[in-house]
């Protein structure tokens, strides 16, 4: 409906869903700790200062954004997201969880595959002031967070 992916776009999320590790995706297979036929959950490749280890929930089939997402898949995503938000609170001891989903570049969408972010939140973390200074992480850093969900 509202597509912004370039004609030759190689979706980095679809590459990861297919089990491929390459320069086309920052998602390593070790980052994925939940996958069924419709939904996948993994640790984000970038960390936001003070809210490290946020999760990303995606459909395993390609839908560019919220507008294209079938209602039944959206319901599955939200069911799994709720389960992992609760697990995140228990595993991280965070004070809250932000659920964030961006549609189209003007709203901050950078990967053109629907993805829902779950950010651990802590009193005084100032997440919004740190959003512009995210940093790419190492496999070892992400592995520490993945362990909390296995």
Q: How confident is the model at residue 15 (pLDDT cuts 50, 70, 90)?
A: very high
CB atoms within 10 A of CB 3: 13
Residue 10 has pLDDT above 80, yes or no: yes
The CA distances from residue 89 to 50, 81, 123, 135, 140, in Å, are 15, 12, 13, 23, 22
Task: Name every residue whose Cβ is closer than 8 Å to that of residue 126 and which is 6 or more positions away in sequence.
Answer: 50
Q: Say what the pLDDT of residue 41 is.
A: 98
The radius of gyration of the chain from alpha carbons, rounded to an integer in Å, stands at 15
The CA distance from 132 to 128, in Å, is: 8
Q: How confident is the model at residue 150 (pLDDT cuts 50, 70, 90)?
A: confident
Query: For residue range 28-77, what is the model confidence (pLDDT) as tens digits?
Result: 999 999 999 999 999 999 999 999 999 999 999 999 999 999 999 999 99
Q: How confident is the model at residue 21 (pLDDT cuts 50, 70, 90)?
A: confident
CATH level 2 (architecture), domain 28-149: 2-Layer Sandwich (3.30)
The CA distance from 70 to 146, in Å, is: 28
Q: Say what the pLDDT of residue 93 is.
A: 97
| pTM for the structure as a whole | 0.95
The CA distances from residue 83 to 50, 53, 116, in Å, are 22, 16, 13
Q: Say what the pLDDT of residue 35 is.
A: 97
Q: Say what the pLDDT of residue 24 is.
A: 86
**What are the residue boundaries of the structural domains of the chain, listed by start?**
28-149
Token pair belonging to 50? 């003070």
The CA distances from residue 12 to 24, 26, 94, in Å, are 6, 7, 29
Query: For residue range 96-143, what is the model confidence (pLDDT) as tens digits?
Result: 999 999 999 999 999 999 999 999 999 999 999 998 889 999 999 999
């Amino acid at each position: 409906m509202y597509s912004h992916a370039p004609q030759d776009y190689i979706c980095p999320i679809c590459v990861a869903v297919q089990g491929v590790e390459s320069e086309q995706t920052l998602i390593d297979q070790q980052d994925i700790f939940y996958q069924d036929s419709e939904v996948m959950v993994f640790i984000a490749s970038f960390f936001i200062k003070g809210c490290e280890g946020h999760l990303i929930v995606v459909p395993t089939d390609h839908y560019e954004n919220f507008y294209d997402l079938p209602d039944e898949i959206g319901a599955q995503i939200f069911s799994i997201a709720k389960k992992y938000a609760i697990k995140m609170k228990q595993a991280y001891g965070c004070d809250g969880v932000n659920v964030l989903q961006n549609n189209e570049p003007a709203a901050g969408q950078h990967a053109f595959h629907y993805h829902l972010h779950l950010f651990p939140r802590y009193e005084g973390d100032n997440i919004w002031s740190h959003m512009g200074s995210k940093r790419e992480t190492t496999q070892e850093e992400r592995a520490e967070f993945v362990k909390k969900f296995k």
